[in-house]
């Protein structure tokens, strides 16, 4: 229940925060910051899982999340440096960070199978929300072709993460 609510909240946050509301399109620096923040959030959750789980499948999944999100975030940082653009913090990235901190705190109170199920279920929900935001808002609104391409590459990777998370979740039932 909490996981589904969290996913719904994440999706609503991504798609309707003040930065994106009222027809205002996010700027490329805002999009870069939102995408980078989403990656940082998943890295933190994965590192928490690596430290808490004893399930080899959950640990392997979390290690994949760290590896892949760190790689995409490195590419994003390299791109903004190349373009001489400073990612711009905004209400969406701030809200994402605040909600993620609350989720990490919630997960920190769980152990064993309860933690594993909650972590993986949150990963499914989180990737669905981020993938949706990439498809419907961030990619279409990106002006720079290189940023748009990086977001499209990230989307393909993150869709794979969503499927992987769903597979691990099914194994935990």
Predicted TM-score (pTM) of this structure: 0.86
Q: Any idea where the domains of the chain sit in the sequence?
A: 28-172
23-29: long-range contacts, CB 8 A cutoff, minimum separation 24: 25/141, 26/90, 26/92, 26/137, 26/138, 26/141, 27/88, 27/143, 28/85, 28/142, 28/143, 28/144, 28/147, 29/80, 29/85, 29/86, 29/87, 29/88
pLDDT in tens, the chain (173 residues): 334 334 433 443 444 444 444 457 899 999 999 999 999 999 999 999 999 999 999 999 999 999 999 999 999 999 999 989 899 999 999 999 999 999 999 999 999 999 999 999 999 999 999 999 999 999 999 999 999 999 999 999 999 999 999 999 999 98
> What homologous superfamily does CATH list for 28-172?
Ferritin, core subunit, four-helix bundle (1.20.1260.10)
């Amino acid at each position: 229940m909490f996981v589904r609510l969290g996913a719904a909240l994440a999706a609503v946050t991504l798609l309707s925060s003040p930065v994106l509301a009222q027809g205002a399109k996010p700027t490329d620096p805002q999009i870069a910051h939102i995408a980078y923040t989403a990656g940082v959030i998943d890295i933190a959750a994965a590192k928490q899982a690596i430290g808490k789980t004893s399930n080899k499948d959950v640990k392997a999944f979390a290690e994949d999340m760290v590896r892949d999100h760190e790689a995409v975030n490195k590419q994003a940082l390299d791109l903004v440096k190349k373009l001489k653009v400073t990612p711009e913090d905004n209400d969406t990235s701030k809200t994402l960070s605040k909600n993620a901190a609350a989720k990490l705190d919630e997960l920190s109170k769980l152990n064993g199978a309860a933690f594993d199920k909650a972590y993986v279920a949150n990963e499914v929900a989180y990737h669905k929300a981020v993938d949706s935001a990439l498809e419907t808002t961030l990619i279409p609104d990106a002006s720079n072709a290189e940023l748009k391409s990086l977001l499209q590459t990230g989307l393909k990777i993150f869709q794979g993460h969503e499927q992987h998370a769903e597979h691990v979740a099914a194994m935990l039932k």
